[in-house]
């Protein structure tokens, strides 16, 4: 039986070689050599004991050990690859968000080293745009630019005067009628008038430059607009038997952003005017 031992071992080697790791590597390194011939040569070179004197069990054990050693050396000598893992989205590195939370799409390109580690997608560039009202309005509830005047019937000095520089970007023509000019949103002066039987409350403005206009909101919420008066470019408005309450006054300029300097007057004397 021993004369058939060597061919039998070769057959076993060939069968095992087809199923063990590393066979592909051996074939790729020597494409023209038969697997059986390689196994026989390897066994003969590494076995000091003559094959005919070995038992079948010993031959099989040696064959399996030899092929496993060759496969381990082949696998160990194969260069390893560095794998870079990229997150599919920002949520890959965070706790999952509710379903309504938008996710960041996978970036088309990534930058940075190609070695291991995570690469965050580029931060989206955000441009902030300040939004202003397209049509600003007068606001009689805002604090007056030049404070408040608390007056009652028979006030003194008469006329009461406040110097100011005014004009803004609110086009008062939206009020309709004869309203014109450009004023600030907040009143220039708030007048708290006590009433008490005064026959007249006259409010007028004398500017040192340009063509001013006057807008007034009375205690009942009504708006009044005046431009030229007494043959001048300066505005005047009269209230006969004026009601007590708050009067908000705006002085407008003839163009947006143009400033007008001058003096605002309040009087009960009909002889006082521009």
Please report, for the domain that includes residue 241, its CATH number: 2.60.120.380
Residue 124 has pLDDT above 90, yes or no: no
Q: Is the pTM of this model over 0.85?
A: no
Q: Is the pLDDT of residue 226 over 90?
A: yes
In a domain, 98, yes or no: no
- Residue 72 resides in a domain: yes
Beta carbons within 10 angstroms of residue 128's beta carbon: 5
Q: Rounded to whole angstroms, how far apart are CA atoms 56 and 44?
A: 15
Asked if 61 and 152 sit in the same domain, the reply is no
pLDDT at residue 16 tops 60: no
C-alpha to C-alpha distance for 89 and 107, rounded to whole angstroms:
8
Task: Give the pLDDT confidence of 129-158 residue by residue, as tens digits.
Answer: 555 556 899 999 999 999 999 999 999 999
Residue 184 located in a structural domain: yes
Mean pLDDT within 114-139: 59
Structural domain total, the chain = 2
Q: What is the mean pLDDT of the chain?
A: 73
Per-residue pLDDT, 33 = 44
Q: 96 lies in a domain?
A: no
pLDDT value, residue 274 = 96
Contact 67, 17 (CB under 8 A): yes
Phi, then psi, of 51 in degrees rounded to 5: -65, -40
Considering the domain architecture, whether residues 73 and 177 belong to the same structural domain is answered as no
The verdict on 68 and 153 lying in the same domain is no
Residue 107 has pLDDT above 60, yes or no: no
pLDDT of residue 122: 55
Are 263 and 160 within one domain? Answer: yes
Q: Quick one: 156 and 255 in the same domain?
A: yes
Residues 154/268, Cβ–Cβ less than 8 Å? yes
Q: Residue 220: its pLDDT value, please?
A: 96
The pLDDT of residue 12:
54
Q: What percent of the chain has pLDDT over 90?
A: 49
- Is residue 224 one of the residues assigned to a domain? yes
Query: Residue 70: which residues within 8 A CB-CB, separation 6 or more?
Result: 22, 26, 42
Domain carrying residue 67? 2-77
Answer yes or no: is pLDDT of 102 > 80. Answer: no
pLDDT in tens, 171-186: 999 999 999 999 999 9
Could you tell me if residue 122 is inside a domain? no
Range picked from 15-19, 62-66, 221-225 for highest mean pLDDT: 221-225
Examine the fold and report which residue of 58, 77, 96 is the final residue of a domain before the chain moves on.
77
Residues 48 and 155 in one domain: no
Last residue of a domain, one of 29, 48, 77: 77
Identify the domain boundary among 77, 100, 133.
77
Instruction: Write down the pLDDT at residue 233.
Output: 96
Instruction: Read off the pLDDT of residues 52-100 as tens digits, 9 standing for 90 and up.
Output: 455 556 656 666 666 566 656 654 554 444 444 344 443 434 444 444 4
What percent of the chain has pLDDT above 70?
51
Q: What is the mean pLDDT of residues 202-212?
A: 95
Same domain, 72 and 153: no
The answer to whether residue 197 scores a pLDDT higher than 80 is yes
Does any domain span residue 134? no
- Residue with the bigger pLDDT between 7 and 178: it is 178
Indicate whether 163 and 245 sit together in one domain: yes
Number of Cα atoms under 13 Å in the Cβ half of residue 125: 1
Supply the pLDDT for residue 50: 47
Task: Give a yes or no: residue 16 inside a domain.
Answer: yes
């Amino acid at each position: 039986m021993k004369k058939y031992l060597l061919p039998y071992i070769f057959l076993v080697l060939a069968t095992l070689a087809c199923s063990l790791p590393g066979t592909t590597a051996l074939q790729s390194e020597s494409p023209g050599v038969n697997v059986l011939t390689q196994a026989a040569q390897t066994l003969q070179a590494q076995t000091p004991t003559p094959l005919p004197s070995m038992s079948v069990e010993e031959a099989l054990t040696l064959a399996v050990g030899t092929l496993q050693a060759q496969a381990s050396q082949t696998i160990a000598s194969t260069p390893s690859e560095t794998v870079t893992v990229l997150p599919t989205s920002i949520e890959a590195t965070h706790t999952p968000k509710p379903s309504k939370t938008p996710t960041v799409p996978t970036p088309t390109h990534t930058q940075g080293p190609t070695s291991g580690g995570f690469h965050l997608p580029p931060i989206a560039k955000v441009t902030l745009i300040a939004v202003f009202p397209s049509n600003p309005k007068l606001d009689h509830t805002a604090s007056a630019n030049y404070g408040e005047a608390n007056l009652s019937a028979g006030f003194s000095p008469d006329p009461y005067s406040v110097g100011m520089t005014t004009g803004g970007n609110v086009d008062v023509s939206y009020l309709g009628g004869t309203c014109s000019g450009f004023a600030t949103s907040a009143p220039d002066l708030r007048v708290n008038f006590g009433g008490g039987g005064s026959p007249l409350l006259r409010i007028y403005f004398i500017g040192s430059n340009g063509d001013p206009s006057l807008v007034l909101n009375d205690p009942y919420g009504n708006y009044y607009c005046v431009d030229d008066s007494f043959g001048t470019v300066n505005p005047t408005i009269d209230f006969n038997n004026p009601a007590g309450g708050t009067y908000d006054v705006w002085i407008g300029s003839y163009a947006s952003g143009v400033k007008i300097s001058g003096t605002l007057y309040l009087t009960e004397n009909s002889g006082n005017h521009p």
